[in-house]
Structure 1
Amino acid sequence: MAVFDYQAKDRSGREVRGRLQAASEAEAARALREQGLFVLRLRASGRSGAAAPGAVREGALARAFPRISLSRRMMFWRQLHTLLRSGVSVSEAFRSIGALNSGHLRRVLLDVAERTARGEPASQALAAYPGTFPPAEVALLRAGEYSGSVEAVAGTIADMNEREIQVRRSFMMELAYPALVLLALLFIPLLPALVLEGGGAAVAIIRQKYVPPALIIAAAFVALRILLAAVPVAGEAWDLLKLRTPGIGAIVSRLASAKASRLMAAAYRAGLEPSLALELAADSCGNAALGRRLRAAAPEIRAGQDLAGTLARAGALPRRALQMLATGEQTGNVDGMMETVAQYFQDEAHSYLKIAAVAAGVLGLLVAAAFVLMKVLGFYSGYGSSLTPD
């Protein structure tokens, strides 16, 4: 018999830590579920969370830069939902989807298939790959395992990811115009050298003046992403800065609130207790500063307070969103109303982004016009000086 350390939550949302003996990790997880505990972490005693044999290791770099795209992850959950609905077992579903993929995702899914075939819960196996499957998705899957609705939860996660893809595409379209203006601003200084001295001179300028700053910016970006993923305090400070930045803060806060609302709706449908659903949204909303406000409301909800009133006291959501949430509580349709709240935040963020994109485009054109005007004035000033006799 092996000894396992566990971290879990009971039905009231209270965190429980302890140690138990079991023949395997799967048996330990099953014993905890039978006690009515929601397992957060489980590992062999004395082991620092090492991956199982054959598992793919993932570190801070994988968490900072996910190994698979959101669209591939959405497709995985959609395939899992379809296979489970057709009666395929969980382990066979993972094996079938893994065989259809390649590279990192294939190795991960085949490893998860082996572990689930030995009796390990799928959520526990996926939790070993936080750089591939976000903790929020793993927690929703775990809730589905507890409620016996894994198939429905897989479909919910697929829908949630699909909406996220649509949001990103719409934002990319809005940012296309400012991006083109920025490229034009970078290209305009090269025009004199390109026209007067040819392409070789322009390439030399790019190598001397453009490439070094670009490399420095890229290196700083990578270092910042790794730092924010590895140091939670730094991540929260960065998120707070984004919320307080004029213009950007309005967009960031609404996007994070939309994601939190959508996660809460999914957690409610998966059968999670309200306080656990709120903590899941707080941990995975994409902004640690907003997550802190949401998490601060969890103890009151565990004590039986209403969700809308508690979030109002925590200052986590705007008044209009809280009014919609209160209506959902009164009608018993919290998950449906949270979806409405998420769409409300998403539409507001889109509106703010449109305004910011237009403003950035106009500002870029003004800067370009000023630069061209300075060049023209400089040219004619020099030309006039050359015509003036000494």
Structure 2
Amino acid sequence: MSEFAYWALDVAGASTRGSVSALTAADAALLLRQRGIFAYRLEETRLSSASASLPGGQSLSLHWRRDFAEKLAALTAAGIAIDRALQLIMLQTKGKAHQTVEALLNAVRAGSSLAAALQQERAGFEQYELALIKAGEQSGELSTVLEDLSQILARRAKIAADIVSALIYPLFLLGFAAVSVIVISLVLAPRIAPLFEHNTDAIPTSLQMMLLLSDGITKHPLLLVFVCLLALALPVGLGRAFSWKRDLSRAACSFPLIARITQTSELGRVCNVLAALLKSGVSLQVAIGSSASAASTSATAQALLVVREAVQDGTRLSVALGQVPVFDPASLQLIAVAEETNRLEPVLRNIASAKESEALRLLTRSMSLLTPVLTVLTGILVGGVVMSVMQAILSANDLAIQ
């Protein structure tokens, strides 16, 4: 989702301006028209989903949002009023999160709804999460909706934790290989170089490269520190840059296995959000529009907006969802049967559970394959460096014999 600044006219012809969150400029204009506002100028300002910041630049993490929804669900289910529940949660938080919950509490006490307060305070909640909370408030099932939301966020957190856990060993191997090359370049290469002082043309290419690396690190030690910091900061910077993130996601999906994992996970997430929204009493059209913000790729989000328009025109959901690439024929058949039996919400939950389990299984298998591949590549790299050093020593012996 992106934030769009707009300049517009209302139904009375008066000028107005503000901002709205939407996937595209066209969707923002449509949303404003539904409010009776006719925009004549739209400008994209920034990303407005989970990257929204708290005061001071700190963002509410996925884990914090999960804990917040879980605690609030338990408190409201016990019959505690929303303002009292927020006050209790505020006492358990510190720092910027404490300030945000305090701001939410003040907004709610001033008469704002919880969803509106969360959006106003830019607490980092995504659009579909806000839509769930708003639906829960309107239907009087806030505690149930918050519990569903906490479960959705918990599954997302588990997938993220599994990915990080699976990447620890491969990253360790890559770091070990880099450190090994640096140590060999700094310790062994300079001790071998004097053997070739009378015949520099005989120095092997690999040894020359290690000597250059050693010389650069020795003369400019801060350069090594800068490169290490850059290597650590680059993934974070790319993750925050929406355009880079989108391009990297598109490039990664060009690999069949990664594309399958992404599509399977995407299908599970969309079905989960759709089921939760339908359970809270939201209309099907609104649920589809809100689930578009849960999509991790712009192609799926745009396709879901087209599905919403098709359903509004009377097309069956199972037929309209055929335009969304992530929906496979088996899932579409299940949804078609669910429409006939009026059991759409439980069937969507079953599809979501099956697809999320399949995505985790595929991820585990791919990481299991990645570890031995990186082990072999690391062995080849370090072994190649050692062999080049041995070759240099043997070449020096040949020169001495001559």
Compute the TM-score of the two structures, normalised by the length of structure 1.
0.75
Match of 2:306 among 296, 305, 311: 296
Amino acid at match of 2:113: P
Maintained 8 Å contact 1:190/1:202: no
Aligned equivalents of 1:150 and 1:117: distance in 2? 17
TM-fit CA distance, 1:218: 4.8
Match of 2:258 among 229, 248, 252: 248
Match of 2:269 among 253, 259, 264: 259
Amino acid at match of 1:212: F
> 1:125-162, CA deviations, whole angstroms, 9 ceiling, x for partnerless residues?
11123352222211111111111111211111112112
Once superposed, which parts of structure 1, at least 4 consecutive aligned residues long, lie more than 6 Å away? 3-8, 58-61
Q: How does 1:124-135 map to 2 (within 5 A)?
A: 124-135=116-127
Q: Which residue of 2 aligns with 1:18?
A: 36
Q: Which residue of 2 aligns with 1:24?
A: none
Q: How does 1:98-177 map to 2 (within 5 A)?
A: 98-177=90-169
Q: Which residue of 2 aligns with 1:85?
A: 77
| SS of equivalent residue, structure 2 residue 35 | strand
Runs of 5+ consecutive residues of structure 2 not aligned to the other structure: 1-13, 22-30, 38-48, 192-213
Q: How does 1:354-365 map to 2 (within 5 A)?
A: 354-365=364-375
User: Residue 279 in 1 paired to residue 289 in 2?
Assistant: yes
| SS of equivalent residue, structure 2 residue 285 | helix
Residues 337 and 214 from structure 1, CA distance in 2 versus in 1: closer, same or farther, beyond 3 angstroms?
Answer: farther
Residues 98 and 316 from structure 1, CA distance in 2 versus in 1: closer, same or farther, beyond 3 angstroms?
Answer: same
Amino acid at match of 2:181: P
Figure out how many residues of one structure are paired with residues of the other and give that number. 342
Residues 213 and 61 from structure 1, CA distance in 2 versus in 1: closer, same or farther, beyond 3 angstroms?
Answer: farther
Q: Which residue of 2 aligns with 1:34?
A: none
Match of 1:215 among 229, 242, 250: 229
Maintained 8 Å contact 2:174/2:378: no
TM-fit CA distance, 1:102: 1.0
Aligned equivalents of 1:302 and 1:192: distance in 2? 67
Residues 185 and 353 from structure 1, CA distance in 2 versus in 1: closer, same or farther, beyond 3 angstroms?
Answer: farther
User: Residue 189 in 1 paired to residue 170 in 2?
Assistant: no
> 1:26-78, CA deviations, whole angstroms, 9 ceiling, x for partnerless residues?
xxxxxxxxxxxxxxxxxxxxxxxxxxxxxxxx996629x86122222211111
Q: How does 1:324-335 map to 2 (within 5 A)?
A: 324-335=334-345
Residues 131 and 219 from structure 1, CA distance in 2 versus in 1: closer, same or farther, beyond 3 angstroms?
Answer: farther
TM-fit CA distance, 1:355: 3.5
Maintained 8 Å contact 2:264/2:326: no
Q: Which residue of 2 aligns with 1:96?
A: 88
Q: Which residue of 1 aligns with 2:385?
A: 375
Aligned equivalents of 2:121 and 2:17: distance in 1? 19
Maintained 8 Å contact 1:239/1:288: no
Maintained 8 Å contact 1:239/1:289: no
Maintained 8 Å contact 1:259/1:286: no
Percent identity, aligned pairs only, is 19
TM-fit CA distance, 1:189: 0.9
Match of 2:53 among 62, 67, 70: 62
TM-fit CA distance, 1:195: 6.1
Compute the TM-score of the two structures, normalised by the length of structure 2.
0.73
Aligned equivalents of 1:104 and 1:250: distance in 2? 38
> 1:326-382, CA deviations, whole angstroms, 9 ceiling, x for partnerless residues?
233233222222122222222332233233323332332232222233233323323
Q: How does 1:224-239 map to 2 (within 5 A)?
A: 224-228=238-242, 239=249
Residues 351 and 151 from structure 1, CA distance in 2 versus in 1: closer, same or farther, beyond 3 angstroms?
Answer: closer
Larger-Rg structure: 2
Maintained 8 Å contact 2:115/2:130: yes
Residues 323 and 118 from structure 1, CA distance in 2 versus in 1: closer, same or farther, beyond 3 angstroms?
Answer: same
With 127-136 and 270-279 compared, the bigger mean Cα shift is at: 127-136
Aligned equivalents of 2:98 and 2:169: distance in 1? 38
Q: Which residue of 2 aligns with 1:33?
A: none
TM-fit CA distance, 1:263: 0.9
TM-fit CA distance, 1:312: 1.1
Amino acid at match of 2:349: E
Amino acid at match of 1:16: Q
Residues 371 and 239 from structure 1, CA distance in 2 versus in 1: closer, same or farther, beyond 3 angstroms?
Answer: closer
Maintained 8 Å contact 2:239/2:245: no
TM-fit CA distance, 1:226: 4.0
Aligned equivalents of 1:72 and 1:110: distance in 2? 15
Aligned equivalents of 2:320 and 2:271: distance in 1? 15
Q: How does 1:32-51 map to 2 (within 5 A)?
A: none
